[in-house]
Structure 1
């Protein structure tokens, strides 16, 4: 992609985002604070719609590459946007999610592999998408964390192994820059909404899956380790307290830091970004394709994260 083309797409995405703000304001597509929120002001919802639109822009400019993935992306983004506005029945929402994920699998040619890869991939993909959505609760966290993932994948695609079109990574990265411009600030202009967090999760999972299929290296899953640790360990603690894990809550570590310790949203977001950056660097330059080193690395990370949570939050809060 030429520099001029990239600049043109960047300004186009800015214009699209500003147009969306007008639409969202007119139709009152907003996020109102509640008891479980980590913000205290009414903010436009759905700014992450440009992640899906960036995929469509690439699809058109590239001569319709990755058509099954893009159809799945449009489907999952559409149902998530409707859910942002109307709050749909879970069965409807999950049914569309399943169809979108199966389209992703078809794009991966996953159905040509042994049958047992399908349920394994379903658990990983749907779990990751939902975890990504749950982690989208403070200013800057989804935009910065996702931009790091795309930048890391761009580095791998250009300097380690080619597994996807670099132009696709550039267009998605530009959409994240635009979103961060409006979201990575003390008082955000917009939130990603389900349409944003689910769409970018779908994109990143597709890219990591494509990379794993190309290389056979499952260590690349660890590019989402920080989110994974916070999401999975939080679920574990909630189960220990016999809470309904499907109900909204403020039990994630990032929520504790912002809501109870009073840390700024941007400080926490930068912290998650830096820790994941260190992990990504370790995966690329140290772990590489060593499975046993990756297992040890995950074990140490889990222990370290548990120690940090017990020291900061305390046994009573975590276990009830």
Structure 2
């Protein structure tokens, strides 16, 4: 993509985001703080709609590539946006999620492989999308973490193995720059909403699936390792405490840092960004296709994370049911 063309797309996405803000303000699409929130002021919701819009712009301008992915992304983003505004029945929402994921699988060509890859991929994709959604709770964390993932994928695509359209990667990166401009700040102008967190998770998983299928290297799952460790460990601790893992909560480590330790959101988001950056550098420059090295890296990160978590939060908070 030519720099001038990329700049024009960036400006277009910027104005589209501004236009959405006006609509959200007019129709009162806002996020009100509650007991589970990590913020304390009313903020526009759904700014992450820009990710889906960016994909559609790519689709129209660059030859209508990846139609099944685009349709799946549009469907899952639309139902997530409606859920942001109205709160839908879970059966309707999950049905659309499933259809969207199956469209992604068709785009990947997954149905041409052995049947057992389908349930395995379903668990990974749906689990990742939901984990990504749960991790979207403070200013800056989703936008910055996602931008790092896209930049790393672009580097791999350009320098290691060409697995996808560089123009699509660049367009998504530009949409993340626009979103971060309004979200990566002390008082955010907007939140991603489910439309944003689910939409960008769906997009990143699509790229990762393309990469893994092209290289047969499952180590690239570690591109989302830090989010994964926080999400999975939090679910584990909630199960131990006999909590309903489907209810809203503030049990993630990033929430503890922001809410209990009162560390500013942007500092917490930057910590997550930097830790994942180090993981990505090790993954790309050292681990590569070595599964043993990948397992060692994963184990090391899990042990360090859990040690830090127990040190800071304590056994009582992590393992014992909290008395309300």
Q: Normalising by structure 2, what TM-score? A: 0.98
Aligned to 2:195: 195
Alignment of 1:173 onto 2:173: yes
Alignment of 1:65 onto 2:74: no
Aligned to 1:251: 251
Alignment of 1:137 onto 2:143: no
Q: Deviations over 1:57-79 (max 9, x none)?
A: 00001111000000000000000
Aligned to 1:162: 162
Name stretches of at least 5 consecutive residues in structure 2 with no aligned partner.
none
Alignment of 1:313 onto 2:313: yes
Aligned to 1:209: 209
Aligned to 1:269: 269
User: SS of 2:44's equivalent?
Assistant: strand
Equivalent residue runs for 1:21-32 within 5 Å: 21-32=21-32
Task: Give, in whole Å, the separation in 2 of the partners of 1:299 and 1:276.
Answer: 15
Task: Give, in whole Å, the separation in 2 of the partners of 1:301 and 1:157.
Answer: 26
Aligned to 2:239: 239
User: SS of 1:39's equivalent?
Assistant: coil
Shift of 1:43: 0.1
Shift of 1:264: 0.2
Task: Give, in whole Å, the separation in 2 of the partners of 1:145 and 1:64.
Answer: 28
Shift of 1:240: 0.1
Shift of 1:315: 0.2
Shift of 1:302: 1.1
Aligned to 1:6: 6
Aligned to 1:304: 304
Task: Give, in whole Å, the separation in 2 of the partners of 1:44 and 1:243.
Answer: 30
User: SS of 2:155's equivalent?
Assistant: helix
Task: Give, in whole Å, the separation in 2 of the partners of 1:42 and 1:53.
Answer: 24
Aligned to 2:286: 286
RMSD over equivalenced CA pairs, Å? 0.4
Q: Deviations over 1:164-189 (max 9, x none)?
A: 01000000000000000000000000
Q: Deviations over 1:248-297 (max 9, x none)?
A: 00000000000000000000000000000000000000000001111121
Aligned to 2:49: 49
Task: Give, in whole Å, the separation in 2 of the partners of 1:54 and 1:172.
Answer: 6
User: SS of 1:41's equivalent?
Assistant: coil
Name stretches of at least 5 consecutive residues in structure 1 with no aligned partner.
none
Task: Give, in whole Å, the separation in 2 of the partners of 1:83 and 1:92.
Answer: 10
User: SS of 2:34's equivalent?
Assistant: coil
Q: Deviations over 1:204-243 (max 9, x none)?
A: 0000010000000000000000000000000000000000
Aligned to 2:93: 93
Task: Give, in whole Å, the separation in 2 of the partners of 1:291 and 1:28.
Answer: 49
Task: Give, in whole Å, the separation in 1 of the partners of 2:158 and 2:298.
Answer: 27
Task: Give, in whole Å, the separation in 1 of the partners of 2:178 and 2:131.
Answer: 23
Task: Give, in whole Å, the separation in 1 of the partners of 2:153 and 2:274.
Answer: 16
Task: Give, in whole Å, the separation in 1 of the partners of 2:9 and 2:278.
Answer: 30
Task: Give, in whole Å, the separation in 1 of the partners of 2:248 and 2:186.
Answer: 24
Matched length: 320
Shift of 1:100: 0.1
Equivalent residue runs for 1:75-114 within 5 Å: 75-114=75-114
Shift of 1:298: 1.0
Q: Normalising by structure 1, what TM-score? A: 1.00
Q: Deviations over 1:293-316 (max 9, x none)?
A: 111211111111110000000000
Task: Give, in whole Å, the separation in 1 of the partners of 2:128 and 2:310.
Answer: 25
